[in-house]
């Protein structure tokens, strides 16, 4: 078994059945989603993105960055507690 750079022995044993999207395809999808958000909200005024922990936070942050790149406006990103989060 030959390991690729940065690949663990465990990952080398896992057979890739299918690949849904590569990095470029994910980036294009995020671009399209950000554009849809901008069109639906008719701009960035009063626009806020809220991500539900944990993965939704990263998605909201990435979309906010796409909008910032496109519009030059920083969009606030909030974090919503998930159902499994404890009361803190």
pLDDT digits (tens, 9 = 90+) for 20-72: 888 899 999 999 999 999 999 998 999 999 888 878 888 999 999 999 999 99
57 assigned to some structural domain: yes
3-state secondary structure of 22: coil
Structural domain including 64 reads: 46-83
What is the pTM assigned to this prediction?
0.61
60 assigned to some structural domain: yes
Spatial distance between the Cα atoms of 61 and 10, rounded to a whole number of angstroms: 31
39 assigned to some structural domain: no
75 assigned to some structural domain: yes
Q: How many domains does the chain have?
A: 1
Alpha helices in the chain (DSSP H): 9-13, 23-41, 55-71
């Amino acid at each position: 078994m030959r390991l690729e750079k940065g690949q663990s022995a465990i990952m080398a044993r896992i057979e890739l059945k299918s690949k849904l999207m590569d990095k470029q395809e994910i980036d294009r999808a995020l671009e399209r989603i950000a554009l849809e958000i901008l069109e639906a909200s008719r701009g960035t005024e009063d626009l806020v993105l809220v991500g539900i922990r944990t993965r939704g936070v990263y998605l909201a942050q990435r979309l906010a960055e796409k909008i910032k790149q496109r519009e030059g406006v920083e969009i606030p990103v909030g974090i919503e507690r998930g159902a499994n989060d404890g009361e803190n």
